[in-house]
């Protein structure tokens, strides 16, 4: 029969090795966690920026559609306008037509950069972010120019130039 006798000091050394993590293990774990945090935060900020840029483009598209719809509709219906033929560009214009009674609608932009349409019953906001609105008449052709500038993304500004036939509809 054999007996194995373990030295008491070797048992204490084994217990000491199993107690906690080494400095190297902790440094590797912290480095790994920092790398993960960097990847997650980077992709989160990229997602936020993409959403803001996409939102600005969508805002410009929506505002272009709204303003264009009203302008084309009313200029096509109009039989007359206060714009001088071959005159200089002006910042507001009135278009008049008969719709079972005389209707006059004035388009302009206000200090809040909103395009408004006023047909006598109060101004209606038909578009936001409108800068540099101008109207020019050349015969029966009305040229409307303006710039749409979203306040949260001015680098996404869109120039809009419309040539609409007066009384064309």
Sketch the domain layout of the chain as residue ranges.
Answer: 40-165
Dihedral angle over CA of 94, 98, 100, 102, nearest 10: 40
* Res 34: pLDDT: 80
Cα 34 to chain centroid, rounded: 33
Residue 4 pLDDT: 60
Q: What is the pLDDT at residue 24?
A: 81
Residue spans of the chain under pLDDT 70: 1-19, 39-57, 168-169
Residue holding tokens 């600005």?
A: 56
pLDDT attached to residue 145: 93
pLDDT of 10: 59
């Amino acid at each position: 029969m054999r007996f194995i006798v373990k030295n008491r000091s070797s048992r204490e050394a084994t217990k000491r090795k199993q107690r906690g993590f080494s400095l190297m293990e902790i440094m590797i774990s912290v480095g790994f966690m920092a790398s993960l945090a960097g990847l997650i935060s980077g992709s989160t900020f990229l997602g936020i920026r993409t959403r803001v840029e996409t939102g600005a483009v969508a805002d410009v598209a929506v505002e272009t559609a709204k303003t264009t719809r009203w302008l084309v509709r009313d200029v096509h219906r109009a039989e007359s306008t206060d714009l001088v033929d071959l005159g200089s560009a002006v910042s507001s214009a009135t278009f008049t037509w008969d719709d079972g009674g005389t209707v006059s609608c004035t388009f302009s932009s206000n200090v809040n950069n909103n395009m408004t349409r006023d047909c006598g019953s109060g101004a209606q906001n038909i578009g936001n972010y409108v800068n540099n609105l101008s109207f020019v008449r050349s015969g029966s052709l009305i040229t409307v120019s303006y710039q749409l500038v979203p306040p949260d993304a001015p680098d996404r500004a869109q120039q809009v130039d419309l040539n609409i036939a007066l009384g064309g509809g």
